[in-house]
Amino acid sequence: MKRENLTRFAWLSIFAAILTIGLKTGAYWLTGSVGLLSDALESLINLAAAVIALSLLNLANRPPDDEHAFGHDKAEYFASGIEGTLILIAATGIGWTAIARLFAPQPLEQVGIALTISSAATLVNLIVGQILIRAGRRHRSITLEADGRHLMTDVWTTIGVIIGVWAVTLTGWHFLDPMVALLVAANIVWTGIRLMRRSALGLMDTAIPAEDQGSVRSVLDRFVQERGIDYHALRTRQSAARAFVSVHILVPGEWTVHQGHQLLEEIEAGIRCEISGAIVFTHLESLDDPASWDDMELDRTET
């Protein structure tokens, strides 16, 4: 299966980030709100993340070569890892600014106009974030899904900031503005940690989702019941958009090579039918050979 070029979604994210940076910066200059400043800084991280996503999606889309026989899909995990790191750096800057403002509160100005502008930026992020999340799920792209979830975090962050600014306007308690900014920073930290964790799991060859593993076993169990065969050493791993499946198939010893090969073709086709785009590796063994049952572990010990 040829991997679809997903860079158009990264360009959409870049456009949205530039637009929201302009809107949120304008809102900050109108009010002087550190909460709105923190929101604008997060949009700068969105822009950096979108540019990185564009670069690494281009890399991931390259075909296999002599040095990367399994493709370049894992490049997507670097995008989410870098994005998580940038988020943590932004959170540190936001927290530092908010603590300084907490000890020296300042009044807010032109709140109504600024919050209208900020709300428009939130709507942009909401629309683009949902597009990216759905595209990420549809194409099994961790880069797009991570970017979309980051934008949705930005949406909730902005809503929190807007609530904080209105609270300052209604109560006159100026300390609420930096307090909300600190909450924003904490929320950003949590998002960054989750993205970095997911990136690490992908680089460590984590198995495909349990639901997909169940689908693979259902296909294999059907052949066991219908064809009198067996299987073992089933292993799976997720590599961004690609799912890899490896399994040993045991058939009666009297089968011909042709019979065994035809069975493997049917099994591989059945698994690919259940998991779109799966890369399936099968190894044929004899049910009657004791050595077949010694070949189940990843690291086989010779005796």
User: Domain 210-294 in CATH: superfamily?
Assistant: Cation efflux protein, cytoplasmic domain (3.30.70.1350)
Question: Structure tokens of 6?
Answer: 């997903």
The pLDDT tens digits for 185-229 are 777 787 778 778 877 777 777 888 889 999 999 999 999 999 999
pLDDT (average), residues 136-141: 81
Lowest mean pLDDT among 43-57, 86-100, 218-232: 86-100
- The span from the CA of 274 to the CA of 211, in Å, is 11
Euclidean distance between CA atoms 10 and 4, whole angstroms: 13
Ranking 99-108, 141-150, 159-168, 200-209 by mean pLDDT, the lowest is: 99-108
* Residues 271 and 280: beta-carbon distance below 8 Å: yes
Domain ranges of the chain: 7-203, 210-294
Given the candidates 1.10.3720.10, 1.10.150.110, 1.20.1510.10, 2.70.98.10, the CATH classification of the domain at 7-203 is 1.20.1510.10
What separation in angstroms does the CA of 52 have from each of 44, 77, 130, 213? 13, 11, 19, 31
Range of lowest pLDDT (58-62, 133-137, 167-171, 222-226): 167-171
How does pLDDT run across 242-272, given as a tens digit for each residue? 889 999 999 999 999 999 999 999 999 999 9
Confidence of residue 1 (pLDDT cuts 50, 70, 90): very low
Tell me whether residue 85 is exposed, middle or buried, using C-beta atoms within 10 angstroms of its C-beta: 0 to 12, 13 to 18, 19 or more.
middle
Task: Select the more confidently predicted residue: 147 or 131.
Answer: 131
- Gap between the Cα atoms of 126 and 176, Å rounded: 25
Name the most confidently modeled range: 47-51, 150-154, 295-299. 47-51
Q: Provide the pLDDT confidence category of residue 101 given band limits of 50, 70 and 90.
A: low
Reference 138, options 2, 278, 4; nearest CA is: 4
As a whole number, the mean pLDDT across the chain is 80
Give the whole-number percent of the chain exceeding pLDDT 70: 83
User: Residue 183: is its pLDDT beyond 80?
Assistant: no
Beta strand ranges found along the chain (DSSP E):
230-239, 242-251, 279-286
Edge-to-edge strands, sheet with 230-239: 230-239, 242-251, 279-286
* Percent of the chain with pLDDT strictly greater than 90: 23
